[in-house]
Amino acid sequence: MNNIIPKTEWVKTRSENGVGWIQLSHENKLNPLSASFILAIKDAAEKFDNDRSIGCIVLIGSEKAFAAGADLKEMIKLNYASVTESRYIENGWLDIPKIKTPIIAGVKGYALGGGCELAMMCDFIIAKDDAKFGQPEINIGAIPGAGGTQRLTRSIGKSKAMLAVLTGDMMSADEAENCGLVAKVFKGEDFDISLKEIAVKIANQSKPLAKLAKQAVNVAFETTLEEGVRSERSLFYSTFALDDHVEGMGAFSEKRKPIWKNK
C-alpha cells in the first residue's frame, strides 16, 4: 500500500474550450475506488490545475455510476494496522480538495460511499435526474472515512446527514438538490449540454479571480464567520492588484465584454 502505482488506464482526460475533463473509466462501470484509482484521479486533476489554459475541471463517471463506492475487494484484505500505517484514506484523497482551479462533479447514476465523498470534494455537483447519492458504509461494517460525515453535514444539515449515515439509505437527485447537496439537476440529454455550458462559462472567467472566489467561499466552511469575513475582505483587496480587475471595471464602464488577461 505504501508504494501505490496510479492506475492511469482507468482515467481518461481531454481538454476543450478551457475545460479539463476527467472521466472515471474503470473496467467495472461502477467505478470502485481503490487506492491506485484515487491516485490516478488526483494526478489528472493536479495536471489540469497546473495547466494555465484550463479554467475549470469537470469530473465525470460512466452512464451507470459516478462511483458506487470503495473497492471492497481491496478493502476486505485490510486491518487496523494496515490502514493506519499505509495512510489508506489519506493518499490522494487529501490532495483533491486542494485543487485551486474550480472543479465540478458531473454525476450520473450512483455516487455512493467514497463516490459521494469524491463528488463532495469538488466545488459543486451537477446531477442527472437518475443520480443516487448516499453513504451506505454502515451496512458493510464501516463508517464514512473520506469526509462523508463532515461534508455531508455541512451541505445538508445534521438531521438529514445523520439519517443518511445511520440508515445507509440512498437519496434521489431531486432530494439532493432540494437539501443543498446538488447545485442543479438536469434531465436526459440536457445534462451533458448543461454541464458543458456551465463548465465553459466558468472557464471563460478570469482565472485568478475564479480561484480567489473559490478560496473565499471555501473559507466559510473552515472557520468562524468573523474570521471568514476578514479573509474575504483580504482576498477582495487583493483583486485590486490584478490587471483583470482594471479590465473588468473598464469593460463595465464602457458597456462591453471584458477581455481577460488572466493576471
DSSP codes of every residue in 141-157: T----SSHHHHHHHHH-
Of 35, 109, 137, 203, which residue is the catalytic one? 137
- Strands, E assignment, 108-254: 110-112, 124-128, 132-134, 171-172, 184-186
What span, in angstroms and rounded, lies between the C-alpha atoms of 205 and 185? 23
Please state, in angstroms and as integers, the Cα–Cα distance from residue 90 to each residue in 17, 66, 86, following that order.
32, 20, 9
pLDDT for position 69: 87
What is the pLDDT of the chain when averaged over all its residues? 94
Q: 30-48 pLDDT, tens per residue?
A: 999 999 999 999 999 999 9
| 44 included as an active-site residue | no
Looking at the DSSP bridge assignments, the partners of residue 128 are 186
Of 45, 117, 134, 177, which residue is the catalytic one? 117
Positive or negative torsion for Cα 206, 207, 208, 213: positive
What span, in angstroms and rounded, lies between the C-alpha atoms of 25 and 11? 5
**Percent over 90 (pLDDT), the chain:** 87
In 3-state terms, what secondary structure has residue 186? strand
Cell triple for 156:
445538508
Q: 220-248 pLDDT, tens per residue?
A: 988 999 999 999 999 999 999 999 999 99
Please give the average per-residue pLDDT across 183-210, as a whole number.
97
| 117 included as an active-site residue | yes
pLDDT for position 1: 47
What count of other Cβ atoms lies within 10 Å of the Cβ of residue 81?
8
Please give the average per-residue pLDDT across 121-142, as a whole number.
96
Of 20, 61, 92, 114, which residue is the catalytic one? 114
By DSSP bridging, strand 19-24 and strand 11-16 are: antiparallel
Lowest mean per-residue pLDDT among 12-16, 74-78, 156-160: 74-78
CB of 127 closer than 8 Å to CB of 81? no
Domains of the chain, CATH where assigned: 8-203 (3.90.226.10), 207-253 (1.10.12.10)
pLDDT for position 27: 92
What span, in angstroms and rounded, lies between the C-alpha atoms of 20 and 79? 37
Please state, in angstroms and as integers, the Cα–Cα distance from residue 66 to each residue in 29, 108, 166, 232, following that order.
9, 6, 22, 33
CB of 104 closer than 8 Å to CB of 198? yes
pLDDT for position 87: 79
On whether the pTM is more than 0.85, the answer is yes
Please state, in angstroms and as integers, the Cα–Cα distance from residue 191 to each residue in 4, 21, 75, 106, 151, following that order.
35, 15, 33, 9, 24
Of 35, 44, 65, 70, which residue is the catalytic one? 70
Lowest mean per-residue pLDDT among 61-70, 72-81, 146-155, 207-216: 72-81
pLDDT at 85 over 90: no
pLDDT at 262 over 60: yes
